[in-house]
Every structure is written in C-alpha cells, then in structure tokens.
Amino acid sequence: MTDPSVTVNGDHVPLTGVATHTTALDWLRGRGLTGAKEGCAEGECGACSVLVARPGTTSPTEWTAVNACLVPVAALDGQELVTSEGLGSSDDLHPVQQELAVRGGSQCGYCTPGFVCSLAAEYYRPSREAAAETCDHEHGPNGVDLHALSGNLCRCTGYRPIRDAAYALGAPEADDAFAARQQQPPPEPRPTRIAVDGAEFVRPETLTEALDLITEWPQAQVVAGSTDWGVEVNIRGRRAPLVVAVDRLPELRELSFRTGHVEIGAALTLTEIERKLNGRIPLLAEMFPQFASRLIRNGATLGGNIGTASPIGDAPPALLALDAEVVLASPRGERVVPLADYFTGYRETVRAADELIRSVRIPLPLAPLVGFHKIAKRRFDDISSVAVGYAVEVVDGTVVRARIGLGGVAATPLRAVATEDALVGRPWTAETVRRAAAVLAGEGTPMDDHRASASYRSAMLGQSLLRLFHTNPETQEVPA
C-alpha cells in the first residue's frame, strides 16, 4: 500500500504521523498555508473553502470547492488540493482574486480566501459558459451561478461588490493551467490505511472489504463527505477508533434509470446527483438548492443524510414523498426497506450494525404535481424548522394519489398519512385543500426549541399545503 500523501498546490506532501481526526484545515494551517480560516468549524461560513480535483460530470476532472474544516485530511490521501495561495499570489493574481480586489470585494479579508476558492470552482465549472444564455437573478451574463457562494458568509464587505466581481469574470485564458488540468483524468481513488496513536482511518477498495470491516468493528464510524461527522469531531470532540471512508467505492457511486425505478448510489454527492439527474426528478430538483449550501452539497450524500437519521434532514421528506426505498447491503446479502419503515426513533433505524446503505430507489412513474417547502430562518444555508415534500397526482379533477413527507415535526422524518387520506379520492378544490390543511397542521409531535415553537411548526404545515395549491400552475381548481 502506497504511503499516504496529498498533492497541495503542486507539491507532494506526506501524511506521516498525522492523527486520523485531523481536519484538512488544521493540517494546512499547520503547514503555514493560513489563507483558509476557521470561522465556525461547522461548514456554515465557508472561510475554510479549498479546491479538490474530483471526477467531473461534463469533463474528466472538475475543481470542487469543499469545507476544509470538515474533511479529515486522511480522506484526501492521493488527492490533489489547491488553496487560495496556490491559485495566485500578490505578484500574479488569479482572475478571481483580481476581480475581487479591483471591485472592493474585500475589507477585513478574513472570509476572502474562502470566497476566492468557491468562486474559482464556479469560474472553472465546465458548463458555465452554456449557462450564460439563461441569465436571471441568480445567474450572471457570464453564466456564474451565485448559489456557488451560498455557503460563504461575509460580515463586513457586503455582497454587492462580491457579486459584481463574480459577474465580471470572463472565460479562462488558453494557457490557464487549472483549466487545462480539468481535461486530464482525476486522481484514482486508492486504498488507504493510516494508523496513529491507536486510531485508524481506512479507505477500503471494495464494498465487500468495507462490509467486512464494519462487521468486525461494529463501533466503526462510516463517513463519506464528513459533513456530519466533521461537526461531531470539531464541536463535540468526538473521536473514533476506526473511521471507514466509503465515498469512492464504485458500488456506491452509480446512478441509473431502470425498469420501474431510478437507482441512486449512496456515496454520490448531492451536487453529482443534481447534475446527473438534470431535472429529471423535479421534486429533488426543488430540494437541492435549499439543502445547506453548494459547499456542503459538494460533500454531502443521500446515504449520509439518511444514515444519520436526523429528524431535520432535508432529503428524507422529499424521498418519503417519492415513495423511496433504501437498499441495505451486508455480508449476508441485500435487502430493500421502504424509507417510510426505515426510521424507528430519534436517530434510530432498522439498519443493522453490519449493514451499509448501498443506494436509494425511487419508483417510476413520478407524480406530476410536486413541491418542496423548507421553512427556516434563512433562505439558504440553514437548518429546517419544518420541511415538507409533496407528490400528488390529480386525474380528471380528483386526487388519485398523494404522498407527503415531513421533517422537523417529530423524532423522525415521517409520512403525513392522515393528510394523504384526507386528499385521496376527493376533488382537487380549495375546499378539499383547506380541510386537508387543517389535518396536516395536526400531524407529528412538534416541539418548542430555539428554531421555532411547536405552534409555529403546526401553523407552517397547514400553510404549506395551501401554498402548494395556490402557487403551483397544476393545482388550479377544476370548474364544476
């Protein structure tokens, strides 16, 4: 097995003796690369953003911005990493750095390196130039998508000059080394085993090897993007004797449309899923932009969001509305569990200790009327107070099918079965919806906490169904 190492700004750097819980951010700063900063240690501010060379969806390699504060540096073994220092210097500014400088996009500068890396990932996005034709309030005339900066916070500059800098970017020059790198294959994932001070980080080569590991070590921590585990390490001081990384396992990274269902690999990042689906599952297309930030979606996976069994995860309400199933793999074989039966209690599931989530299945055909409503204190990059996913089918003015998934109103994500029953078989009219909305307001067991009161959560449930009816073009009342 090759000695662990990372290529940083073109230099080959060994990982010898690095503790397995060490984040990429702490490791980089310990090496004197202090451009990336720690602002929150939770992946919410983007001050730690760096670039990683990953497999692209429209080019062999894509520069992907990630939160260095969450990713264990051990997970970057064999990978290529670029920091703000590697993009350019004061004597030779990168185009992103140049535009931020001349347009007043930096004051104190604490957040600026993170903005530089996130914006550089967007600058090099292969499909950006094609997106220029769809210029709207979120895309500039140059095709820049401001969602690329949704995970970067600035407390003093103000976002207008940063937006101006983003919209002023042109296409990469012909001799741009970072653009040229995207046309070459990305680093191949390689098996990793790092053992320091009695703790181990392992990247198995196959799913079989991964399953054998977690069978032998039931207390092992399985990670993909580490967007949840990284917070546990940073904020709560959690440590694991064995961390098993499954993010590059080929068996967990497939997406295919099959007879009767769509199969989505559990280790595909949300960004990869979004781009591979390209809108073909409209409910997920509504959910993706509201799921945390682009930085988080570049690491987070469906397997991780389901696996943590959080009652406020954004994906489960949408997947419950889609009647999704979870494919669980173990040394004993595979089994398929409806997502509605998967959650058994607060952060508890039917998954056995020797099982991994291999994929998520979404049955076809899809319901034509869908919606994803997330109620939170901020429009983006926030935790849900309430999340609701809808999938409704209306035929000749009558509701023939309804699936409603809820998050944030109980100890687990759940289906709003009583509300579904109040809709199915009845005419799709304002009166029906008003009665069903009253039922929806009583679903779950919402609680008071620092995000919202129980009464507010209940009120938002009812208002959500009314909103679906009155704002979606397909929900217009059929004349008598």
**Residue intervals in the chain for CATH 3.10.20.30:** 5-181
Classify domain 369-480 by CATH architecture. Answer: 2-Layer Sandwich (3.30)
Return the H-helix or E-strand segment holding 28.
helix 24-30
pLDDT tens digits in sequence order for the chain, 480 residues long: 689 999 999 999 999 999 999 999 999 999 999 999 999 999 999 999 999 999 998 899 999 999 999 999 999 999 999 999 999 999 999 999 999 999 999 999 999 999 999 999 999 999 887 665 555 556 788 999 999 999 999 989 889 999 999 999 999 999 999 999 999 999 998 999 999 999 999 999 999 999 999 999 999 999 999 999 999 999 999 999 999 999 999 999 999 999 999 999 999 999 999 999 999 999 999 999 999 999 999 999 999 999 999 999 999 999 999 999 999 999 999 999 999 999 999 999 999 999 999 999 999 999 999 999 999 988 778 889 999 999 999 999 999 999 999 999 999 999 999 999 999 999 999 999 999 999 999 999 999 988 899 999 999 999 999 999 998 645 544 433
Short-list 187, 198, 246, CA closest to 221? 246
CATH of 250-366, one of 3.30.465.10, 1.10.3720.10, 3.40.50.460, 3.40.50.1100: 3.30.465.10
Helix and strand counts by DSSP (H, E) for the chain: 18, 20
Q: Alpha carbon of 345 to those of 324, 385, 461: distances in Å? A: 19, 19, 21
Domain 5-181: give its CATH code. Answer: 3.10.20.30
Short-list 160, 73, 65, CA closest to 116? 65
- Which residue's structure tokens are 């009464």? 455
**Residue intervals in the chain for CATH 3.30.43.10:** 192-249
In the DSSP assignment, the letter for residue 187 is P
How many whole angstroms separate alpha carbon 222 and alpha carbon 338?
22
Q: Six-digit token pair at 256?
A: 């295919």
Classify domain 192-249 by CATH architecture. Answer: 2-Layer Sandwich (3.30)
How many whole angstroms separate alpha carbon 149 and alpha carbon 136?
16
